Amino acid sequence: MTEDGGRKTEAFTSVFRLSSFVLDMEIIMTNRLANETSPYLLQHVDNPVEWYPWGEEALEKAKTEDKPILLSIGYAACHWCHVMAHESFEDEATAAIMNKHFVNVKVDREERPDLDNIYMTAVQAMTGHGGWPMTVVLTPDGRPFFGGTYFPPAPRYNMPSFVQVLNSIIKVWQTQREDVEQSADQISGHLQRVLGLDGRSGQAIDDTLFRRALANLNEAFDAAKGGFGRAPKFPPSMTLEFLLRMHLARNDAHARHMAEKTLQAMAYGGMYDQIGGGFARYATDNDWLVPHFEKMLYDNALLARVYLHAWQITGKPLYKRITEETLDFVVREMRHEDGGFYSSYDADSEGEEGKFYVWDKAEIEAILAEEADLFKQVYEVTEQGNWEGTIILRVQQEPTAVAAALDLPPDEVESRLAAARQKLYDARAGRIWPGLDDKVLTAWNGLMLAAFAAAGRALSRPDYTEVAVRNAGFLYENLRGENGRLLRTWKAGSEAKYNAYLEDYAYLADGLLTLYHTTFDYEWFAWAKELADLMLAHFRDEEFGGFYDTSDDHEELLTRPKDIQDNATPSGNAMAARVLLRLSLYTGDGRYWEVAEKMVQSLYEPMAQYPNAFAQWLQAASFMAAEPREVAIVGDYGLPDTEALIQVVFEQYRPELVTAVGFKSDLIPLLAERKMIDDKATAYVCRRFVCQQPVTDPDALRRQLLEENQ
């Protein structure tokens, strides 16, 4: 019932006894969200609750009036956030209680991941679970003493009503203040101790780490349906990337099987939008049929990239199709005309979850006419439907099997199905669309930038490369300050705002390095290096290693968060390690490698025991263990002899390799002191700057790469 990472909210327990409290009804019909740019905050601008955005005004009011802060955190695509808003925040009687006794603060978790991290950790400590909408009550100086997620308007789900919770908190605040202060101190102390990364000690990366991680993944693997664990099932993008790397590094057939079983199950299930492309946030069932219908930019970025890599490894057309359909969906529906990518699509339309995406049999038959029979053989189309009397489209029989049964060429079946899907898409486009969160977040754009850049190179799609280049240019123009520092969020018609976080720097730097790998344009490499150096200057934890989530000049909060676990998106620290490792190979700067190596080694045991929660870290560890290679190609980019060498490097998926192209450069030391042979483009294959004999022949380069891979 909550957007809580898949764990349904159970009975909320609290140290407070519920009590009734009679209040005068004072209704305030305006709030202070009207000047905000977040679509989530603007969804609440007409609530009778006197909402404030997080900031000095709200905090000062709480201190002056000695009122607790009621902090509500959510995001625009969150279904249960909408439910609680409609049931409670739009209710005048409930709003009157909130306005009289609390300073009410509304936060978009996507704009302020620092606040979300701090107070989610508090809620999990208090209740054992967390999720969104998140409801936290703070002392006027910001210390939490009560927390929960969704609360219903009347007692149900074995939970008290929201008004009962409010009345109980009011009574405790007024009559048990010493207990409140003591509880707030204890929780705040817990938050300040939760750091989780100590780069001062660790264990060298070895094969035992990967064997243990693979064994634990195998134990959690759903051999029948794919994925790991039971419902709800989230797309395990980072875990799948790690499995593909283990297949390449160890020739591990079972690692590949776990990855492919999951990739195929997701591609054929209802979590994938069979008509419009792109993935929903997660599946609520074991069969990948029923999605939580919101579409997030970050999921589609991570999934497009892993499907691309699966295609590069296997050559299977399904993976290529899913990659292209996902990226095409983003270009078509989640991209600002100037190049920035939007954040998400809501799960709801017309107040109903999933209404935009579901069908009935008669509607499909009317739209497709004579093509309906073929379509129904491939997709699950029945009179009774498969979800609440409606149809969520999923593949029930592979198109190749249908083609064989009908004695038709597979290409003809695929072509007819594509035409049918387009007809259904056109019909669906006439419905009322879900809400679009059209803010542009630097971090999530960095993930999608990497996906388009990688696909542009691997698929020989210059249009995808152009999308990536325009996105990078957009971010440089709109979200980079004159001093090089990044901002977090931008929305059309408004200036960018909020200090950027570690993940903004790390994700964008990774995307820029990927873009450099595609275009070999020095400016993208230079910007990536600039961002890495800013991370080291403003985010690094000199005492314990790794990086804080916030910069050293960020707003002072209850604690300085330092998140290391991979969740729906990679840990900012894990992505920072990946960036630093790659930069070390380009530059020869051992400082980059040393910082990253200590970070990765310090998480040896968590990676081994909890691989799904540390899969991005495991990718960094596998990169280190592979003794990664550098390829320096000296020649004019775009000329045939240079392009022939580049083509060899990228004809396979080689995640353990970095490549630089051009001539001697003070910017990229990997190219320094390299020369062309006989006026031909020349390739140098190196490990930690120790190189093999330079070659000009593509076949000779191919042999060197294959020999190095043995």
Residue 60 has pLDDT above 50, yes or no: yes
Q: Is residue 297 part of a domain?
A: yes
Q: Is residue 454 part of a domain?
A: yes
How many independent structural domains does the chain possess? 4
Q: Is residue 279 part of a domain?
A: yes
Q: Is residue 19 part of a domain?
A: no
Distance from first CA to last CA of the chain, Å, rounded? Answer: 50
Residues 611 and 656 in one domain: no
Q: Residues 644-669: pLDDT tens digits? A: 999 999 999 999 999 999 987 778 99
Partners of 108 in the beta sheet?
Answer: 74
Residues 404 and 533 in one domain: no
Q: Residues 414-463: pLDDT tens digits? A: 999 999 999 999 999 999 999 999 999 999 999 999 999 999 999 999 99
Look at the block and give the residue holding tokens 């983003």. Answer: 330
pLDDT at 690: 83
Distance CA 641, CA 452 (A): 26
* Complete DSSP assignment for 506-569: HHHHHHHHHHHHHH--HHHHHHHHHHHHHHHHHTB-TTTSSB-SS-TTSPP-SS-----S--SS
Residues 452 and 505 in one domain: yes
Residues 243 and 326 in one domain: yes
The boundaries of the domain holding residue 424 are: 357-430
Residue 2 has pLDDT above 50, yes or no: no
Q: Residues 338-397: pLDDT tens digits? A: 999 999 999 999 999 999 999 999 999 999 999 999 999 999 999 999 999 999 999 999
pLDDT at 200: 64
Residue 5 has pLDDT above 50, yes or no: no
Q: Residues 134-146: pLDDT tens digits? A: 999 999 999 999 9
Provide the CATH number for the domain around residue 225: 1.50.10.10
Residues 638 and 619 in one domain: no
Look at the block and give the residue holding tokens 């900031």. Answer: 55
Distance CA 522, CA 243 (A): 32
Q: Is residue 33 part of a domain?
A: no
Q: How many C-beta atoms surround the C-beta of residue 200 within 10 A?
A: 10
Residues 614 and 651 in one domain: no
Look at the block and give the residue holding tokens 């934890």. Answer: 541
pLDDT at 22: 28
Give the distance, in angstroms, between the CA of residue 30 and the centroid of all CA atoms in the same chain. Answer: 34
pLDDT at 4: 44
Residues 240 and 375 in one domain: no
pLDDT at 666: 74
pLDDT band at 9 (very low <50, low <70, confident <90, very high): very low
Residue 3 has pLDDT above 60, yes or no: no
- Phi/psi at 513 (nearest 5 deg)? -65, -35
Do 137 and 68 form a contact (C-beta atoms < 8 A)? yes
Provide the CATH number for the domain around residue 652: 3.40.30.10
For the residues 278-294, what does the mean pLDDT come to? 96
Residues 365 and 492 in one domain: no
Residues 287 and 361 in one domain: no
Handedness of CA 143, 148, 153, 154 (dihedral sign): negative
pLDDT at 129: 86
Residues with Cβ within 8 Å of 521's Cβ and at least 6 positions away in sequence, in order, are 515
Q: Residues 247-271: pLDDT tens digits? A: 999 999 999 999 999 999 999 999 9
Distance CA 495, CA 479 (A): 9
For the residues 577-603, what does the mean pLDDT come to? 96
Question: Domain end: 193, 218, 245, which one?
Answer: 193
Distance CA 41, CA 504 (A): 21
- Phi/psi at 387 (nearest 5 deg)? -155, 110
Do 326 and 341 form a contact (C-beta atoms < 8 A)? no
- How many CA within 13 A on the CB side of residue 409? 4
SS3 content of the chain, % helix, strand, coil (to 5): 50, 15, 40
pLDDT at 665: 72
Residues 216 and 230 in one domain: yes
